[in-house]
Structure 1
């Protein structure tokens, strides 16, 4: 019996265009990211470097990029938050049947954009019993330690916990710890259909 549902944020509630950032950066001569920059991205998502350091690293690597142009490109991945997804979450919270947890790989620049451009963000956040952002807790999916942190901190039983995410690596990692999983196919499936798609768990 499921007692806790752990949700991802991007492409579960907040619609993303994951190809947008590189498309925008190509305009300024950034054709691909080096292994070093990919590691920098991961460190930034874990909150191990500041936003100013992060931006400076990029504009040093790509001299045609200005600070404003990079931030615009970086945030271009973030699209919209359909209202029906919030309504689903509010109804789920109102039912009182489940502990609701958000677990998201994200970063300060993205969250700043969301706060400024998504009016329902605070209402969304208030629906959760726990709200974990990778850059605040210094863990990052798909590493096992982030799931262990959430399970241990909240004293959760994996067999009573469902994890919903759109990224296969994250799903596979959670599965190794015994969590129930839903690999949501962004663009083909909707979080609002949780109870029909995963009816075998409820």
Structure 2
């Protein structure tokens, strides 16, 4: 059994857990579209319309799924709201700017990696912006692998995307901890046999995972 004492804030006792799987949005990168829209200076009613039109749309999910691209999605959005064509272009051009690293969780990921745990990613994410984030942030490149929704045309919490991750890297779910901010995603992972923790805040995450490591 491995004991690690050199970080006073974290204590990993080296139990049966070998693999840690991180969601990305709202676990490693902030994703708060309503706050982002407020910062663009639109009137409140325009903010509300754009939020529903874009971020709550079926097209947004299909972008995550990889079944449509931005050009197609943008045409659909502008067809639905022709009076907001300029605003739609601004949002689609700038929304990736809200994806700011959650430093405490990034540091946690790096510590877990340093302590010898295998790190994986499992996230619903759109191709173009994921590639920007991957090239920009080293913490998305230091893991052992991952599955991103657009790569497999499947979204969490569909059972299939978890099965792909397990099969691709020959992981045993009983030796794997999954961290996500979405309750449905966590529940599906538990059904498959993952140890799972729902992320609510950084301090609570550290406390929740300690007994599992």
* Structure having the higher Rg: 2
| TM-score, normalised via structure 2 length | 0.76
Alignment counterpart, residue 93 of structure 1, candidates 93, 113, 128: 113
Question: Is 1:48 matched with 2:59?
Answer: no
CA contact (8 A) 1:22 1:30 kept: no
The SS at the match of 1:15 is coil
The two structures, once aligned, show a CA RMSD in angstroms of 2.8
Report what 1:129 is aligned to: 144
Question: Is 1:103 matched with 2:159?
Answer: no
CA contact (8 A) 2:134 2:141 kept: no
The SS at the match of 1:198 is helix
Greater helix share, structure number: 2
1:166-185 aligned within 5 A: 166-185=181-200
Question: Is 1:145 matched with 2:156?
Answer: no
* Cα distance in 1 between the residues matched to 2:114 and 2:79: 49
* Cα distance in 1 between the residues matched to 2:17 and 2:134: 31
Report what 2:22 is aligned to: 7
* Cα distance in 2 between the residues matched to 1:84 and 1:22: 25
Shift of 1:81: 1.1
CA contact (8 A) 2:24 2:121 kept: yes
CA contact (8 A) 2:147 2:161 kept: no
> Please, which runs of 5 or more residues in structure 1 have no aligned partner?
none
Q: Deviations over 1:117-158 (max 9, x none)?
A: xx4x1x112221113221122121011110011111111111
* Cα distance in 2 between the residues matched to 1:89 and 1:28: 34
CA contact (8 A) 1:28 1:65 kept: no
The SS at the match of 1:101 is strand
The SS at the match of 1:80 is coil
> Please, which runs of 5 or more residues in structure 2 have no aligned partner?
1-15
CA contact (8 A) 2:109 2:119 kept: no
Shift of 1:82: 3.7
- CA spacing shift, 1:79–1:155, aligned 2, 3 Å: closer
Question: Is 1:70 matched with 2:88?
Answer: yes
Size of the alignment, in residue pairs? 190
Shift of 1:72: 3.5
